[in-house]
Structure 1
Amino acid sequence: MDQSPQVQTYSRETLLSLNDGTHHHFLPKEVFHTLCALDISRVKPTRRGKKGGLKHRQKLTRSTVYKANATNDLSLFSLNCQSVKSKATRGIITDLLVEYDIDIFALTETWLAGNESDDFILSSLTPPGYEIYNIPRGGGDPHGGIAILFKQGITVVSKSCDQNHQYTNFEFCDVVFTCGSKCFTLVTVYRPYPSAKNQFTAGKFFEEFSQFLQDYAISQGELVLVVDLNLHLDIEDDYNTQKFADLMDSLSLTQFVVGPTHRCGHTLDVVISRESDNLVKNTCVLDLISDHALIACTLQIAKPKIPMKTITSRKYRSIDPAVLKEDIVSSVLTSSPATNVNDAVNQYNDILSNLLDLHAPARTKSVVPRIQQPWFSDSLHQLKRERRKAERKWISSRLTVDLEIFKALRNKYNVALYHAKCTFFNNKILECGNNYKTMFSIIGEVLHNKKTTKLPDHDCSSDLADQFANYFMSKIETVRSNMQSNVTGVSSSQHNCNLSFSNFDTVSVADVSEIITKSPCPSSLLDPLPSWLVRCSAACNYLHC
């Protein structure tokens, strides 16, 4: 009889379903030690962590919780996004901008090449109220590229990048911002990870980076650097870590990020500023958006004043057509109408404008323009909560199974966010029906087509008006001269016509009313009453006959 033990197998889905986040399953001590001996409950090795070893890895923690709008200080965020394409089109970057009310967002590893195919991505990346400064990846590095997103209330004084490839081991861009009365320089640096292909070394990097920092350390104005070093700064006894610390001390610079910024437990991303500037505070590590975490800090600079938008509206739907008809009938439009055409037009406009102000007075209010996400629902909010709960559990346990659960929930939320956005615009297009004007307007919104008005060069509005007047006057003169030249030499006998119109039928009020009712009703801002309101009220008999 076969006494060999039977092996019970479980699928990945079955194992993941056991850890639903609501119950804690405790294993017997001997079973747990057996799993550890079989390397089942340990963290998978990583190529970036081999040098430091497992004993040097830090436990990923969140020492500070960032709260949007907690203070009036300027917020600065950074992220190694590892291809911004999917995160822009799926709305992930916009979701972060809305959630944390980010003022300046530095992105590295955008993987944008700088060609025409990037236009749609950049438009998706830049929501209303924001501007972008994009530096495509340079050289032969397929994983570079830097982009800076900032609010429109922040003014750019100057911007530059390494167009001449003066530094070969890293890429950078610097932007001088002015916010209120404060002026500061933001420098974003990305260092590619050394490989056999690029032949980058830490020695060459420090040789270039030290000279780079010296130039900025003695520059005028306040300074902040956001750097993706790809160095394991968490290993204190590492030679590169000590060399970096010595470089900071020699230039009186301070590095503010504490704790790991990569999913493998290493500190790769830093925020640097001068010790004397006293500019950076409240630095913290937030969500894992890619393999890198989102870095947040605040600058002791007041937030830009949000430009207010003035909106004027009327409650047209609250107008009672029957009451409006009575007011029109009792007005001078019917009792003593003007006999002159010009006087009749003026009377029509004045009376209807006054009646409109009486029934639906104009209301003016100032609103703050904000990023709109009408597709964000309660279900998406719940998925985001589950994702963060799974992330906190993985950060606490560091178990591989918890990491897989967090990844699954993160991907589930990103896919749900993308599908909600697609469904929203798909339903809007279906609701258009045969209204192609509205349909193309929605399609333009999806494709982020920005309306640009191209006008001739002009010094002032009166100069522009004169240019338009001269253009149309010359055009009319050209048409007249061409008509006269064509008529010359043509005998009048060729234009004789024996047909004539002699009998005309009298048009009744009902005929005119029927024509008005069946005709389209486009409206203009110059109309005293909207056309649809004139039609829906029964007063058109008195207004047009």
Structure 2
Amino acid sequence: MSPHIQNRSMSLRRRVINNGTGLLFEQALSHTPSQPSERADDLMIHFNSRMTLIMDNIAPLKNKRETDNQKAPWKLNPVVKLLKKECRKSERMWRKSKLQIHYQIHKEMLGKYNLEISKARQSFFSNIINRNINNAHVLFSTVEKLTNPSSQLPPELSSVNKCNDFASFFKGKIDKIRLNIASQLQIAQNLEPLAVKRGDRNLTPTFSLVDSETLEKISVLPHLNWIFCPQFFSNLFFILYQPMYFRL
């Protein structure tokens, strides 16, 4: 268990600049007319406005809302940070070589890292309790955070856009299921005339009981290997349905 770490959400404005932005900037700058002037201030103002106009066209400012994920205080321990660095290093070595020895090294480093996090967390809360041993409010709030951690969702998950994304996702799932059901019904309707045509044949409506005489004939059939099974079943079928053929 760990207390709830509140994440701070901030809005950032940035330009997306890639490898092709420089070429587009040069082309746009060459086609932008210059404005001659004898005053240095006017030239500077004109230059800045040209640069801003070109950048707004090829790489406009975009608003992006990011969440600053705050780390748990005990993870800021220097020993924990060092072990995390070594653990990532051993993981990269194992993924690169795929050797069993490097996997064992990474596994040991991961165990040491988790153990050190547990110790740092225990030390963090022990220091809080020792510093506030006479402050009942802090003690009770600390115990409350440990036993009943907050389940508050980040603010970005409760936004209108996120709700619309969830609704669109499940609506697409429902539409896909309905489309599959409709296609299956269409296939069944196409196969129904074939079933009616098959029903027009002279099929056996019922089966007659097997009497003792028929069983005796079956028992006297010679024992056949699996190679002659089709012949065996054809003989059996003829014995069972011989009276029916005569009636037809």
More helix by share: 2
More strand by share: 1
The answer, yes or no, to whether TM exceeds 0.5 is: no
In the superposition, the TM-score normalised over structure 2's length comes to 0.34
Larger radius of gyration: 2
Structure having greater relative contact order (Cα 8 Å, sep ≥ 6): 2
